Structure 1
Amino acid sequence: MAENPGTPLLDVRGVTKSFGHGRRRLTAVDGVDIRVERGQTLGLVGESGCGKSTLARVVLGLERPDAGSVRFDGTDPFTLKGRELLAWRRRVQMVFQDPFASLNARMSAADLVGEPWRTHRDIVPTARERDRRVHELLSLVGLRESDAHRYPNEFSGGQRQRIGIARALALEPDLIVCDEPVSALDLSVQAQVLNVLSELRERLGVSYVFISHDLSVVRYVSDRVAVMYLGKVIEHGRADDVFDRPLHPYTAALMSSAPRLEVSGAAHDTEIPLRGEIPSPYGIPSGCRFRTRCWKSEPRCAETAPAAISREPAAHTGREPHEALCHFPLDG
């Protein structure tokens, strides 16, 4: 449970993470700020290679940042050791992209869900309590009590992902990082899993960092959205603000290229070009890193990196600012 209710659950500021040596050093995350409030979902969007998963590994404590700070409920997890670190790891869990690869094929659903209790033995001290909690968690994610003794190959992809979610919930975390949790599933199954995640948030108050390249999925589950490009967050704000009135040309191009069913003549049907491939992270363009693919690019974009611009909400709404890094933001 939250120990410092007046602070954000997750507060990441100026985080940078690089890999490699010398001239072949790759900056995967470059000065990123994100925030997750209690009971909210932050959607993290961007093309493959933009740094989403590296940022997730920093949030999970699996990668130490080169610069910047990470605060979880006001505490820097990278200063913790021993029992304090073990206690913190209970509070942050993960749901993986591939529900089959993330589950041990030789373990039953009951063993998979209860696996975290082997490390955190104080949570479920007896076998009877363990069985009760396994059945409770399976029921919570929409599986039957009789499923406890089945193995991963006996479940569908969506059911396997539900087992992964139940396992993530076993330690009663405050935050779950979901890294492309539905991308390997059929559309109908995606909807089922997304509904489970939403229901769990409402019931348990858990927060999510939800990573995806699928904008329709992100819009469905997220309160706030951060759009990443080549290691930087180039636009962020409330989900409705970002998707209804994007400021950055990259965000608008992503939305334009996303498949949708509408056949009306609305303005959203206008196609916006997203030229070429994302540049190599070993050769990030000067100035604005999106300029090599942007239809609004001008010489200024190559000369200087853009500062943050903000579209302020109406004072009476109480909504947070909607910001982007762009010399020539969209009018929206």
Structure 2
Amino acid sequence: MTDTPLLEVRDLTKTFQVPGAGKGRGLRALNGISFDLKRGETLGLVGESGCGKSTLARTLLMLERPDGGSVRFDGVDPFALKGAELLAWRRRVQMVFQDPFASLNARMTAGEIIGEPWRTHRSLHRTAGERSARIRELLDLVGLRKGDEQRYPQEFSGGQRQRIGIARALALSPDVIICDEPVSALDLSVQAQVLNLLNDLQRQLGVSYLFISHDLSVVRHVADRVLVMYLGGIVEQGDTESVFNRALHPYSAALMSAAPSLDADARREHIVLQGELPSPLSPPSGCRFRTRCWKATDACASAAPEAAVDPRDPGHTAACFHPLEDASGLVAAGGDGR
């Protein structure tokens, strides 16, 4: 992993118009998202369902166009690209999906699935021999056997099907892979195998991961850094162990309190959030978390808090007017949200 950002996201916003919601009302799925993804890094993304994780992934894949903010990928704005330049860029960001069966075409063999991206990117592996050789290399890379390219998805186990999905994502030699709950549909023992495979591939290939998951123990195992999302915004980000062991934002603290601990002697208070998750069509004023926060005051209703830095750890930020007691020295983070 290097310190040079491969992906730079600043103040990203995305609003969906909802029929029947009323004039001028929309669903703000992304609300000023800012973060960096470094080369060879795994960045975990956690938060409740509906917080905007999938919208962020779709926007980074250019399946959605943001309303505001900026995305720089290796110094280039991908939303400004067209034609051949855009096609070449699309090779660099790929996806591993949650369901390892629904994401594979049951009428295609494993080899056909892995080689399918080359139908669009015809400059790669022009001859049948080149394609066949590369498919065998990818099968070997993800731990499948020679001859598996002739089998159909329904002939594989769930873990093997996810390995095919990973091989397909690697077919275009991407720089970034977005992993959307890639092990949630698998048995625990198989989850560990797939996670170890992803780690091994990262060490071999230097690929970066944006790893989306509800399972905090999985995120803690694989991620170098963590983003915590709530109702379209990032409320905290930092090194994985810093966020898990010393959460600054009350929402992060509640999430982490529910995560299993490897320390049998650890004493961690389980924080139970009160109230329902607000509707994203009508979020609370000011801090969007205030209606469920035990530290909220009148000030939290009047303005949204900016990201602030923990002076003990400049890479650890939280957007909170009243951070937890051990983080009372937070200072303004500046305009980029880092």
TM range (shorter): over 0.9
Q: Where does residue 134 of structure 2 map in the other structure?
A: 133
Q: Where does residue 302 of structure 1 map in the other structure?
A: 301
Q: Where does residue 317 of structure 1 map in the other structure?
A: none
- The answer to which of 294-303 and 30-39 deviates more is 294-303
Q: What is the CA RMSD across the aligned residues, in angstroms? A: 1.6
What is the TM-score with the length of structure 1 in the denominator?
Answer: 0.93
For 2:83 and 2:131, locate their aligned partners in 1 and report how far apart those are by CA, in whole Å.
25
Q: Where does residue 8 of structure 2 map in the other structure?
A: 11
Bigger fraction of residues in helix: 1
For 1:248 and 1:133, locate their aligned partners in 2 and report how far apart those are by CA, in whole Å.
47
Deviations for 1:143-171, whole angstroms, at most 9, x for unmatched residues? 11121111111111111111000000000
TM-superposed deviation, 1:24 = 3.6
TM-superposed deviation, 1:304 = 2.4
For 1:7 and 1:13, locate their aligned partners in 2 and report how far apart those are by CA, in whole Å.
16
For 1:124 and 1:18, locate their aligned partners in 2 and report how far apart those are by CA, in whole Å.
40
Q: Where does residue 267 of structure 1 map in the other structure?
A: 267
For 1:92 and 1:261, locate their aligned partners in 2 and report how far apart those are by CA, in whole Å.
34
Conserved? CA contact 1:246–1:252, under 8 Å? yes
What is the TM-score with the length of structure 2 in the denominator?
Answer: 0.91
Conserved? CA contact 2:6–2:39, under 8 Å? yes
Structure 2 letter corresponding to 1:166: A
Deviations for 1:181-222, whole angstroms, at most 9, x for unmatched residues? 111111111111111111000000000111111111111111
Q: Where does residue 291 of structure 2 map in the other structure?
A: 292
TM-superposed deviation, 1:123 = 1.0
Conserved? CA contact 1:254–1:274, under 8 Å? no
Deviations for 1:19-59, whole angstroms, at most 9, x for unmatched residues? 01534410000110011011111111101000011011111
Alignment of 1:80-159 (within 5 A): 80-159=81-160
Conserved? CA contact 1:24–1:282, under 8 Å? yes
Structure 2 letter corresponding to 1:307: E
Q: Where does residue 325 of structure 2 map in the other structure?
A: 331
TM-superposed deviation, 1:300 = 2.1
For 1:87 and 1:130, locate their aligned partners in 2 and report how far apart those are by CA, in whole Å.
19
For 1:280 and 1:6, locate their aligned partners in 2 and report how far apart those are by CA, in whole Å.
38
TM-superposed deviation, 1:129 = 1.2
Give the aligned length. Answer: 321
Conserved? CA contact 2:42–2:210, under 8 Å? yes
For 1:128 and 1:12, locate their aligned partners in 2 and report how far apart those are by CA, in whole Å.
40
For 1:278 and 1:186, locate their aligned partners in 2 and report how far apart those are by CA, in whole Å.
29
Unaligned ranges ≥5, structure 2: 327-338
Conserved? CA contact 2:4–2:39, under 8 Å? no
TM-superposed deviation, 1:104 = 0.2
Gap change, CA 1:87 and 1:26, over 3 Å in 2: same
Conserved? CA contact 1:10–1:35, under 8 Å? yes
TM-superposed deviation, 1:291 = 1.1
Tell me the secondary structure at the aligned position of residue 68 of structure 1: strand
Tell me the secondary structure at the aligned position of residue 209 of structure 1: strand
Tell me the secondary structure at the aligned position of residue 103 of structure 2: coil
For 1:119 and 1:307, locate their aligned partners in 2 and report how far apart those are by CA, in whole Å.
43
For 1:157 and 1:8, locate their aligned partners in 2 and report how far apart those are by CA, in whole Å.
34
For 1:312 and 1:136, locate their aligned partners in 2 and report how far apart those are by CA, in whole Å.
47
Conserved? CA contact 1:273–1:295, under 8 Å? no
- The answer to which of 121-130 and 199-208 deviates more is 121-130
TM-superposed deviation, 1:312 = 2.3
Structure 2 letter corresponding to 1:46: G
For 1:307 and 1:80, locate their aligned partners in 2 and report how far apart those are by CA, in whole Å.
32
TM-superposed deviation, 1:65 = 0.6
Tell me the secondary structure at the aligned position of residue 213 of structure 1: coil
For 1:184 and 1:98, locate their aligned partners in 2 and report how far apart those are by CA, in whole Å.
6
Unaligned ranges ≥5, structure 1: 315-319
